[in-house]
A and B are shown apart, each in its own frame.
Chain A
């Protein structure tokens, strides 16, 4: 309850605490989603009009390919953050899955199809280790996954050392960057969309999804309503690991290079995108649509600024500022609303 009160304490002064507060929150979430989608539309329009070479099919293809890893990992991350946990080891899991894929291809003689399946399973195992520490031993996920962030990254350098594996078959490496015939949309966007729909349905249209919000708001209350908090969270970490396995495969094939430092630093971009998408870092709040818009907003902004020859350091500053804005703004809006509400109530009482 402690974290929740950071947000909603002012509204508890209302006459009917439960109903009014929920409606307020829902309104706020809805509005933030709308803000992000609107921001995305504005940025795309402005970029198309002012940035040369932005509005072209080829650029869209580059942009979407660059966004794939971020978009894929953001899906399970959204669910995890909604339950009030976090997984910071994602980029390291991608790196480790990538080097494992390279090592298996280099020395095992297995078929690439089987290796891909194994890599996703290995990713799931890595995620299960996170899940076990968090739910089995009840440790904070922030601490656990900072630990595995370093651990998995270290292991990925153990697996391949200083070499890189690059001799993947050309038809495989070409397949991941190929566009859908007749368009400039990469084919890999299709599985991404399918996954996004699955995650969206699970989160917003099932009992399990509602349970995730309940956990984020109050673990204990969720437990009392019959939700197995530990089990659900455990599987979320497993899913996160498996998705990282997928991203590891994509990354390796797209860059035709399996190496220990693949995807370094990606975890922070993922968290930025998720928070920008309106998911509360304290859990219990957020929607998948907002996150998808957040991912796109981040990608479009980076791409457009790069095309406009904005310095890389300035790009990093933009990303950082967006992250802070995405955390501060919803808070500030909630605060202002609560104050307005109280003033109106006081007026009502006085008159």
Chain B
């Protein structure tokens, strides 16, 4: 045992010495003296020609956060419809789990394949930036949808609705359902999801309004956009907060899992649930009384618009500068806003009266 200890001591001492030497030897890059690269500047270069026709045969690839996620399947199919309309080549690729690093390897693959447009939803606003910039340098146009990257890493971000619009809508829905007072909780996706965190922050702001003063947000739980984890988190919420009146789950996976738990539990109809879900997944819970109303934009339209935005970029109709206008097939005309953001429109609210009109 003494040899063991001696070994430990020698090892630790030498490591510490190495650390000291290394630090003494280098002047050091600290947070304060590091010059932050401002990025490649604004990507809008060259003049836009709004009358340019959409080129035929554009190669457009959709890279969702992950495959096997019904939400992205629907929006990618919307993109496919658009690409078919303007006679391009469509393809959908993606990792099997929602991680930023695996998206990077797909972006590299796509740029290697010489895609004209890469349409992606970012698992991390920073991690895929380097790869996107490389793809851009190789000639691809970059459109993000649903979840954005840093603005300098893409040309256009197609936003489903404004974050304010979602926060307002979700808080209003839950307030109506619980009668304007009581404890509520949020069941989110992953702790790092860009859009989720923006919405949650705005919901908190929204809740400070006087009309919501009797509503108390007790916690935010993370179901990681995993059905089973979301199910268990819902169960956990109800056990930890016996006075819980309502749950907001602004993610399709979360709200469906929460609906499944509630509909089979004693809390059915007593604890209200709303969120962002797809009509097909939520239909049975609306019909059995577990859920009064929930909301969503049309993910198919989102993908459709993103594909048109990419085609407009690749054809030179727009450059991604503020004020550029383009036509997106059946959806009509859109204008590029500040920082290259294009907004789809306000969310649709689904309840038992209208849910049967929607199939996605």
Contact = CB atoms under 8 A, between A and B. Distances in A.
B26 to A, nearest CB: 5
B36 A170 contact: yes
Contacts of B30: 109-112
Contacts of B190: 261
A117 B114 contact: no
A238 interface: yes
A112 B34 CA distance: 10
Contact of A170 (B18, B37, B96): B37
B70 to A, nearest CB: 15
Interface string B189-212: 011100001000000000000000
Interface in B51-88: 67-68
Interface of A: 52-53, 56, 58-59, 62, 66, 105-106, 109-114, 117-118, 121, 124, 157, 161-164, 166-167, 169-170, 172-173, 177, 228, 230-231, 234-235, 238, 251, 254-257, 259-265, 302-303, 306-307, 309, 311-313, 315-316
A118 B19 contact: yes
Interface string B2-30: 01100100010001101100110011111
B333 interface: no
A113 B284 CA distance: 57
Contacts of B99: 261, 264-265
Interface in B70-127: 91, 93-97, 99-101, 104-106, 108-109, 112-114, 124-127
Interface of B: 3-4, 7, 11, 15-16, 18-19, 22-23, 26-32, 34-37, 67-68, 91, 93-97, 99-101, 104-106, 108-109, 112-114, 124-130, 190-192, 197, 222
Contact of B4 (A62, A162, A234, A315): A234
Contacts of A265: 97, 99
A315 B96 contact: yes
Contacts of A261: 99, 190, 192
B108 A124 contact: no
Given A231-B3, A231-B7, A117 B22 contact: yes
Contact of A169 (B36, B95, B126): B36
A231 B5 CA distance: 9
Given A117-B18, A231-B4, A112 B127 contact: no
Nearest to A315: B96
Given A53-B114, A117-B22, A254-B130, 20 more contacts: A52-B113, A53-B113, A59-B112, A109-B31, A111-B28, A112-B34, A114-B28, A117-B19, A121-B19, A177-B130, A255-B100, A255-B104, A255-B127, A257-B127, A259-B124, A261-B190, A265-B97, A303-B109, A309-B91, A313-B68
Nearest to A255: B127
Given A255-B130, A257-B127, A114 B23 contact: yes
Nearest to B27: A111
Contact of A62 (B91, B108, B222): B108
Given A62-B108, A109-B32, A257 B124 contact: yes
A112 B19 contact: no
Which 4 pairs from chain A and chain B are nearest by CB?
A111-B28, A170-B37, A162-B191, A166-B126
Which of A124, A255, A262, A265 gathers most chain B CB within 10 Å?
A: A255
A313 B67 contact: yes
Contact of B101 (A62, A166, A255): A255
Contacts of A256: 126-127, 129-130
A9 B19 CA distance: 50
* Majority SS at the chain B contact face: loop
A194 B23 CA distance: 23
A121 B27 CA distance: 20
Contacts of A263: 101
A183 B192 CA distance: 36
Most chain B beta carbons < 10 A, residue from A173, A256, A260, A263: A256
Nearest to B5: A231
B119 to A, nearest CB: 16
A112 B129 contact: no
Nearest to B191: A162
A302 B100 CA distance: 17
Contacts of A164: 124-127, 192
13 contacts: A53-B113, A58-B112, A111-B23, A112-B29, A112-B34, A121-B16, A255-B124, A261-B99, A263-B101, A265-B99, A303-B105, A306-B109, A316-B96
Contacts of A316: 96
B31 to A, nearest CB: 6
A255 B35 contact: no
B28 A112 contact: yes
The winner among A52, A118, A121, A261 for most chain B CB atoms within 10 A is A261
A49 B107 CA distance: 22
A290 to B, nearest CB: 25
A112 B190 CA distance: 28
Contact of B192 (A106, A259, A313): A259
A113 B22 contact: yes
B111 to A, nearest CB: 9
Contact of B130 (A162, A173, A302): A173
A99 B23 CA distance: 21
A260 B3 contact: no
Contacts of A177: 130
A113 B19 CA distance: 9
Nearest to A317: B96
A242 to B, nearest CB: 8
Nearest to B188: A162
A53 B112 contact: yes
A257 B192 CA distance: 11
Nearest to B35: A169
Nearest to B4: A231
A307 B192 contact: no
Contact of A313 (B15, B34, B96): B96
B23 A117 contact: yes
